[in-house]
Amino acid sequence: MSVLHEFTSGKNPPEDGLNTSERFSVFYHNLFEYPLTFSELVKWTPRNAPETGSRVDYKNGYYFIKGKEGLIYKRNVRKRFSRRKRKIAERVSKIVSFIPGMKMVAISGSLAMDNAGKESDIDLIFITKRGRLWTTRIAVYMLLKLFNFRLRKPRNPYQKDRLCLNIWLDESDLEWSKKERNFYTAHEILQIVPLISKGGVYEHFLSVNKWALKFWPNAAEVRLNKNSSSYTKPLKLNVLEMLCFKIQYSYMKHKITREVVTPTRAIFHPNNLSKKILGKMAS
């Protein structure tokens, strides 16, 4: 019997006694220095998790890896930093929401979990209308410059409160490929927080990536919005969109390493955390 059953039955949670999946969840989030509350442990209990051998402790409403009690204080401090960063992200979303091609702005990364450090940047995801990604992207950059928002600068060690516009998706191309599907990517998808979402695009985004629930089955309730569209016809870019894509791609192409840049996607990873986290899980 797991600690979740005992807790919901009215008993106090023991210091240890979680099942394999529950211990894995605490272990996984410990990689991000993120102790879990009871409700978070329920939400982020995975399916078919490997045994970690980690011992779990419980104090002040948080589950954490034994010996990592100090993360409770760190998490509460980061929550305060995250509130301020989220207000910046909310201002951005209100400004760019007026751009005709914009369909969704969402918070991702550590900020989505209220776990951003003082010096952290602000990770944002954008979804645009079909065939409007590159014109919309230019419009977003122009507006943010106009309103004096600070953008992330490559190789700059000082990124505090800068905007990291790291994922751009055309609404016709939202599904992650099979080779990208793992515990880390699934968590990143399920933890995002939409700030604006038009026409049910956030629900559609979750629906086409419902594979993520195979890793974290309690993390979201996926319902396909009836207004969401499924695109089967090939995308044909208009002249302006193609021109904007070629101009931006020409600027980027000499700098591309692991980034993904296509007519329907622009995904940038300043820090490749996926391999690092998966490596720690395997060690």
Q: How far apart are CA 102 and CA 126, in angstroms?
A: 8
Residue bearing tokens 């979740």: 4
pLDDT at 5: 47
pLDDT, tens digit, 9 for 90 and up, residues 44-60: 999 888 888 889 999 99
| CA distances, 217 to each of 10, 11, 48, 212, 273 (Å) | 24, 25, 10, 8, 22
DSSP-assigned letters across all residues of 126-152: EEE-TT-HHHHHHHHHHHHHHTTPPBP
Of 5-19, 39-53, 92-106, which one has max mean pLDDT? 92-106
Q: What is residue 4's three-state secondary structure?
A: helix
Q: What backbone torsions phi and psi does residue 11 show, to the nearest 5 degrees?
A: -90, 155
Residue 229 per-residue DSSP state: -
Across the beta sheet with 102-107, what order do the strands follow?
193-197, 102-107, 122-128, 163-170, 265-267, 260-262
pLDDT at 1: 46
pLDDT, tens digit, 9 for 90 and up, residues 161-214: 999 998 999 999 999 999 989 999 999 999 999 999 999 999 999 999 999 999
Domain positions in the chain: 3-69, 79-282
pLDDT at 237: 80
Q: How far apart are CA 24 and CA 216, in angstroms?
A: 11
Is the CB of residue 106 less than 8 Å from the CB of residue 212? no
Q: What backbone torsions phi and psi does residue 167 show, to the nearest 5 degrees?
A: -135, 125
| pLDDT of residue 150 exceeding 70 | yes
pTM of the model: 0.87
**Residue 212 Cα to chain centre, angstroms:** 12
If pLDDT is split at 50, 70 and 90, which confidence band does 104 have? very high
Q: How far apart are CA 34 and CA 44, in angstroms?
A: 12
Q: How far apart are CA 249 and CA 155, in angstroms?
A: 20
**What would you report as the CA-atom Rg of the chain, rounded to the nearest whole angstrom?**
20
Is the CB of residue 223 less than 8 Å from the CB of residue 207? yes
Amino acid identity for residue 88 in this structure = I
3-state helix, strand, coil in the chain (%, to 5): 40, 15, 45
Q: How far apart are CA 170 and CA 268, in angstroms?
A: 15
Q: Rounded mean pLDDT of 77-104?
A: 97
pLDDT at 7: 47
| pLDDT of residue 97 exceeding 80 | yes
pLDDT at 10: 42
**Of 153 and 212, more confident:** 212
At 23, list the tokens: 């211990």
Query: How high does pLDDT run on average in the chain?
Result: 87
pLDDT at 159: 84
pLDDT at 230: 60
pLDDT at 8: 42
**Of 208 and 226, more confident:** 208
